[in-house]
Amino acid sequence: MISTKNVTFSYQKDQLFYMPDLYCTAGNTILITGNSGKGKTTYLHLLAGLLKPITGCIEVGETDIVALSEKKTDAFRGKNIGIVFQKSSFISSLTVLENLEMTSWLVGRKKQTPKAKELLQKLDILEQSDKLPSQLSIGQLQRVSIARALMNEPKVLLADEPTSSLDDKNANAVIELLTNLSKEYKAALVIVTHDSRIKEKFHNQITMI
C-alpha cells in the first residue's frame, strides 16, 4: 500500500504545492486528475522518491521514504516501486528482452529471463522480445514499459499519463492491463492523468486544483 500525509513541495520560494493526502491499498487503483500545471507529475515524482517534499510523510508499506537517504531511497525504489513514465525510455542498443532483464540486474538480482518472458506474454508482445525499442510502435513500447515496471514485483505501481499518446483502442487496452496486472501482483496502482477517456473507469479519484 501507499499513503501520504501533509505533503508539501516547492521548486521556488513563491510557489508551494500542497499535495492532497492519499491512501491506496494493494491491488486497488487511485486516479490523480487535474489540469496541466497543478502538480500531478510532481506528486507522482514525490511518491516515487524522485523528489523530496518540504514537509509530510510518504509511506510505502511500513517505510516512510521521506526519511531515507538518497542512496537508500534509490535502492528501495528499485525493489518496491514500479514506474510507467509518460515517455518510454529504454537502452536503445538492447533488445526488449534485454531491457527487462537489466531491470532485475540493476537491483542486484540475477537476470529474470523467465519472468520477463511471462510478462511479455501476458502483455501480448512476446514476439517482440528480440526487437530493439526503435522497432516498436508507441502502443507496444507502452506495454514494454508496463512489463519493466512489474519486473521486480513492486508494492506500488505508478503511471504518468499512460494513455496520452495512444488512440482509443490502445488507451483502453493499456488501462485494462494496468489494472488487471496490479491486482494480480497485489500492487497499489496510482495513475496520474488528464485523459477524460479513462476518468469514468475509476471511482477512487483525487482532483488537484
pLDDT on residue 164: 84
When pLDDT is cut at 50, 70 and 90, the band that residue 165 belongs to is confident
pLDDT in tens, 25-75: 999 999 999 888 888 999 999 999 999 999 999 999 999 999 999 999 999
Q: What domains can be seen in the chain, in order of their start residue? A: 2-207 (3.40.50.300)
Spatial separation of the C-alpha atoms in residues 209 and 189, rounded to whole Å? 21
Which of helix, strand or coil describes residue 13? coil
pLDDT on residue 111: 81
pTM for this predicted structure: 0.92
pLDDT in tens, 138-159: 889 999 999 999 999 999 999 9
Q: Where are the beta strands (DSSP E) in 155-209?
A: 156-160, 188-192, 205-207
